[in-house]
Amino acid sequence: MNPSVRILIVDDHTLFRESLSRLLEADTECTVVGTSATVEDALALVAEEKIDLILLDYDLGVEPGTRLLSELRKASFQGHVLMVTAGMSDETMLRALDSGASGLFLKSSPLAELTLAIRRVMMGEIWVDSGMVKSLIAGARQYNAEAIQGTLTIRERKVLRCVFEGLSNKEIGQQLNISEGSVKASLQQLFARTGVRTRSQLVRIAVEQHSNDWLNDE
């Protein structure tokens, strides 16, 4: 773990905030620079502190944590956001990814997995907790999203599956036995075809519109 990762925890449960702070600082090289229970307090800390990653709960009691995603976008926040939640609806998970969240993590998962998720997110990858994947795909298949013209090539399908699994470009190249440059080229084609600009948005498109394609075997 990069020792420079500075974290803000946003959760309305004091015990959870304090416990997670202690665990992260004791067992990882992360630095928790602050905690908050509301969107307003979180925004104030973002304005005052250098924050690399926000661990954000969805249910903040009187408001959804996803409102912070919208406010961060308006403020041109350059860090990452990992949703750490007890549960979210399928539609909310998709909207969170589309709004800029870099991942979805279940509170019931162990600290070791959170550490891995943080590492992945800080590398610019997407993390989707394994416990959410089936629900996410099932919910997305209920949407009547407009189909993208044409089908995915075999390579695009494989690359898209790897992106969904949270692999880096280098890891995708190693797994598919292709160069990192070829991976980047395939990603550029996928971005152009889907009209998205980020990997998190690409994950949403993959789930909504191509799950039958890229999840199937060749």
pLDDT of 145 higher than 80: no
pLDDT of 218 higher than 80: no
Q: What is the pLDDT of residue 146?
A: 43
Confidence of residue 149 (pLDDT cuts 50, 70, 90): very low
pLDDT tens readout for residues 90-137: 778 877 887 888 888 988 888 888 888 898 888 888 888 776 666 666
**Domain 6-131 falls under CATH 3.90.1150.10:** no
pLDDT above 70: percentage of residues in the chain: 82
Nearest to 188 by CA among 155, 146, 143: 155
Domain ranges in the chain with CATH number 3.40.50.2300 = 6-131
Fold of 144-214: Arc Repressor Mutant, subunit A (1.10.10)
pLDDT tens readout for residues 29-88: 788 999 999 999 999 999 998 999 999 998 888 788 888 988 998 888 989 999 988 877
More confident residue, 148 or 151: 151
